[in-house]
């Protein structure tokens, strides 16, 4: 009886302590700002771009802001739009810095802000970031090497993807400028951008970058499996766009080496480009760590680093 009572007391105590412990796992010192990629949106209708991620981070104690920048525009233009919103977030919260987490084109967009205003940024986390360009953009622009996927095929595939994203965003009409955006996401366009804003970039073809530059911590992670879920309507399109990489590892839209920035947490999750933000509506690889968990782990990493 005494043993049983002891066990019961221990359980009650554990239940009393557990919520407090779970509630601070993602409690970073500085607010977390989520930055969407190409054709992105913050939240339109019921669907969030970072599907289920802000609420998961908030329930773990993080302050989370989801920004909206131009769906398709140059990295510098998107970066200036992000900088304006970062200043607004700092004014609203009284925080001195933010932790930027950018997906896809959101990676370079975040890097722009960290480069021009390092005093306002504690860290940049690039998720499937287009840091050294994308072969998909090169093909769209007709500057891909011979033998790559045909431009005609890819334009039709990306139009299909745009339709999916347009459906998700409630027919917002944000998907009209895929070709224009491709210019800033091409290998040549990225190289030009990187020459001006080099912080955190690997200096070798596929290594890690500096873990810290001008007081900003740099991290990255990405998937490397274009087709992951039979029920996700986006997967067949990503399987096709992955052919643009001519055999090099990629997540369907971004090559593994291009995703590297600062400390590479992992670059081979069994995820495609949309899985990285828990899309389409939570349809991800059931045999891989859930992307929401990876966002929580990164927040915890920032917290433990005092950021
Ligand atoms: Ca998916």
Residue 231 alpha carbon to ligand 1 centre in Å: 8
Tell me if 13 is assigned to some domain.
no
251 vs 170, more confident? 251
CATH at 88: 3.40.50.1820
The whole domain housing 291 covers 26-304
pLDDT tens string 128-183: 999 999 988 887 777 766 666 666 666 666 666 655 555 555 444 433 455 657 77
- Spell out which residues have Cβ within 5 A of ligand 1, the ion: 232, 274-275, 283-284
Instruction: Indicate the pLDDT class of residue 13, thresholds 50, 70 and 90.
Output: very low
* 275 carries an active-site annotation: no
* 260 carries an active-site annotation: no
Matching residue, tokens 């970058």: 209
- What the block records as the tokens of 34 is 């989520």
146 vs 89, more confident? 89
Tell me if 131 is assigned to some domain.
yes
Instruction: Indicate the pLDDT class of residue 69, thresholds 50, 70 and 90.
Output: confident
Instruction: Indicate the pLDDT class of residue 14, thresholds 50, 70 and 90.
Output: very low
- Selecting among 26, 103, 273, 275, the annotated active-site residue is 273
pLDDT for 162:
59
Residue 228 alpha carbon to ligand 1 centre in Å: 7
- Selecting among 60, 232, 235, 251, the annotated active-site residue is 251
Please check the confidence at residue 85 and state whether its pLDDT lies above 90: yes
The pLDDT mean for the chain works out to 86
pLDDT for 153:
67
Residue 288 alpha carbon to ligand 1 centre in Å: 12
Residue 154 alpha carbon to ligand 1 centre in Å: 19
pTM as predicted: 0.86
Neighbour tally for 184: CB within 10 Å: 24
State the Cα–Cα distance between residues 125 and 123, nearest whole angstrom: 7
* 105 carries an active-site annotation: no
Average pLDDT rounded to a whole number, residues 27-40: 89
Residues in CB range of 146: below 8 A, 6 or more apart:
none
Residue 86 alpha carbon to ligand 1 centre in Å: 29
Tell me if 274 is assigned to some domain.
yes
Residue 61 alpha carbon to ligand 1 centre in Å: 27
Tell me if 116 is assigned to some domain.
yes
Lowest pLDDT segment from 18-32, 56-70, 80-94, 271-285: 18-32
State the Cα–Cα distance between residues 261 and 220, nearest whole angstrom: 5
pLDDT for 20:
43
Lowest pLDDT segment from 12-26, 52-66, 132-146, 284-298: 12-26
Check: CB of residue 185 under 8 Å from CB of residue 253. no
Among residues 193, 204, 221, the alpha carbon closest in space to that of 115 is found at 193
- Selecting among 36, 74, 103, 104, the annotated active-site residue is 104
Residue 278 alpha carbon to ligand 1 centre in Å: 7
Tell me if 14 is assigned to some domain.
no
pLDDT for 136:
84
Average pLDDT rounded to a whole number, residues 42-68: 86
Tell me if 16 is assigned to some domain.
no
Residue 237 alpha carbon to ligand 1 centre in Å: 11
Tell me if 18 is assigned to some domain.
no
pLDDT tens string 195-248: 999 999 999 999 999 999 999 999 999 999 999 999 998 899 899 889 889 899
Tell me if 85 is assigned to some domain.
yes
Instruction: Indicate the pLDDT class of residue 64, thresholds 50, 70 and 90.
Output: very high
Please check the confidence at residue 34 and state whether its pLDDT lies above 90: yes
- What's the total number of domains in the chain? 1
């Amino acid at each position: 009886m005494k043993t049983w009572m002891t066990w019961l007391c221990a359980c009650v105590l554990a239940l009393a302590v557990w919520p407090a412990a779970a509630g601070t796992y993602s409690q970073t010192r500085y607010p977390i700002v989520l930055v969407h990629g190409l054709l992105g949106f913050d939240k339109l209708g019921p669907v969030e771009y970072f599907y289920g991620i802000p609420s998961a981070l908030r329930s773990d104690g993080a302050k989370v802001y989801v920004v909206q920048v131009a769906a398709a525009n140059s990295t510098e233009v998107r970066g200036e739009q992000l900088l304006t919103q970062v200043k607004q977030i700092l004014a609203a919260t009284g925080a001195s810095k933010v932790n930027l987490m950018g997906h896809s084109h959101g990676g370079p967009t975040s890097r722009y802000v960290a480069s021009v205003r390092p005093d306002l940024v504690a860290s940049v986390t690039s998720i499937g970031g287009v840091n050294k360009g994308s072969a998909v953009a090169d093909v769209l622009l007709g500057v891909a090497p011979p033998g790559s996927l045909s431009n005609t095929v890819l334009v039709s595939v990306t139009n299909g993807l745009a339709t999916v994203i347009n459906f998700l965003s409630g027919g917002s009409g944000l998907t009209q400028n895929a070709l224009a955006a491709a210019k800033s996401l091409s290998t040549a366009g990225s190289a030009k951008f990187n020459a001006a804003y080099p912080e955190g970039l690997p200096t070798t073809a596929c290594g890690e970058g500096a873990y810290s530059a001008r007081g900003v911590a740099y991290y990255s992670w990405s998937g490397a499996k274009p087709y992951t879920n039979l029920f996700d309507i986006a997967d067949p399109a990503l399987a096709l766009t992955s052919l643009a990489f001519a055999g090099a590892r990629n997540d369907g839209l971004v090559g593994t080496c291009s995703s590297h920035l600062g400390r590479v947490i992992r670059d081979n999750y069994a995820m495609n480009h949309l899985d990285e933000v828990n899309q389409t509506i939570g349809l991800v690889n059931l045999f891989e760590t859930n992307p929401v968990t990876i966002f929580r782990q990164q927040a915890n990493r920032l917290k433990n680093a005092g950021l």
